[in-house]
């Protein structure tokens, strides 16, 4: 099993009604890979992430996690293994940062109160928020809330982390702190599939950048090649524009 790629997406097709939004997507991710996805609005980036943890069903092709088709896995089990961080933080307002993080390990993994609390504090420390453990979401900045969201996902010991524009809802001055946490995670060997406009992150952390347009992969490759020597003019233009708008965040 361990010779399999961690993630294999093979000829994925996805329709919403009559509209085919993913038109045969194939790629693989090894353990510790950081796959960055970019593309225009509506190109299917979020849909692709949602297919991976089955927030939406797909009609053709296959996605495997660690050798097992996700469609054959128990959905709860799949989502235990695949952490997801969205643009919105979705923290419970009536729970502190620590309590938000403890919830999954308590309810889903069956950890004791003490185990879950200890793990939550470890994860808060990892994202630089040890001092905010007892703060409620309303007392945290957007960047801090997003870091709690990341800590919450990490506390479940995921094999894979999905990020869908985790910094898009943040004020510009708060983006850097979240990107920094993501870069640390990547360096620490987390396998990550990331939709982002942050080209600083992509350059620093991506093992591969994939450019999606209208449900197809236009091209993909390591950041050095895609930035310096893209095959398609369209890729060059798109990356240039993103770099101009979201180049360096810190």
Residues found near ligand ATP in the complex (CB under 6 A): 16, 21, 39, 41-47
Question: Are 149 and 91 a contacting pair, CB within 8 Å?
Answer: yes
The pair of structure tokens assigned to 186 is 């990547």
CB of 39 to ligand ATP, least distance (A): 6
Nearer to ligand ATP by Cβ, of 42 and 189: the residue is 42
**Comparing C-alpha atoms, which of 30, 27, 28, 24 is closest to residue 12?**
24
Spatial CB neighbours of 116, under 8 Å, sequence gap ≥ 6: 101, 102, 105, 106, 155
Residue 106 contact partner, candidates Mg ion, ligand ATP, none, CB within 5 to 8 A by sort of partner: none
Nearer to ligand ATP by Cβ, of 64 and 196: the residue is 196
Residue 191 contact partner, candidates ligand ATP, Mg ion, none, CB within 5 to 8 A by sort of partner: none
How many residues of this chain bind Mg ion (CB under 5 A)? 2
Strands 60-65 and 7-16: antiparallel
Nearer to ligand ATP by Cβ, of 15 and 31: the residue is 15
Beta bridge partners of 29: 7
DSSP 8-state assignment for residue 54: T
What string marks each residue from 37 to 76 as x (binds Mg ion by CB under 5 A) or -? --------xx------------------------------
Residues in contact with Mg ion by CB under 5 A are 45-46
């Amino acid at each position: 099993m361990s010779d399999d790629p961690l993630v294999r997406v093979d000829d994925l097709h996805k329709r919403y009604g009559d509209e085919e939004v993913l038109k045969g997507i194939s790629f693989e991710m090894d353990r510790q890979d950081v796959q960055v996805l970019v593309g225009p609005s509506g190109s299917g980036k979020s849909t692709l992430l949602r297919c991976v943890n089955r927030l939406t069903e797909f009609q053709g092709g296959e996605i495997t996690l660690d050798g097992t088709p996700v469609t054959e896995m128990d959905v709860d089990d799949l989502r235990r293994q695949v952490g997801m961080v969205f643009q919105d933080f979705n923290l419970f307002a009536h729970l502190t940062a620590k309590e938000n993080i403890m919830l999954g390990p308590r309810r889903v993994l069956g950890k004791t109160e003490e185990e879950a609390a200890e793990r939550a504090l470890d994860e808060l420390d990892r994202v630089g928020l040890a001092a905010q453990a007892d703060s409620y979401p309303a007392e945290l900045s957007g960047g801090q809330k997003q870091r709690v969201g990341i800590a919450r996902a990490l506390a479940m010991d995921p094999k894979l982390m999905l990020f869908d524009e985790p910094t898009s809802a943040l004020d510009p001055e708060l983006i850097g702190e979240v990107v920094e946490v993501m870069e640390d995670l990547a360096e620490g060997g987390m396998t990550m599939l990331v939709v982002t406009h942050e080209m600083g992150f992509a350059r620093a952390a991506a093992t591969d950048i994939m450019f999606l347009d209208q449900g197809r992969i236009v091209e993909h490759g390591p950041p050095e090649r895609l930035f310096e020597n893209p095959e398609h003019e369209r890729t060059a233009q798109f990356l240039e524009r993103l770099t101009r708008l979201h180049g360096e965040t810190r």
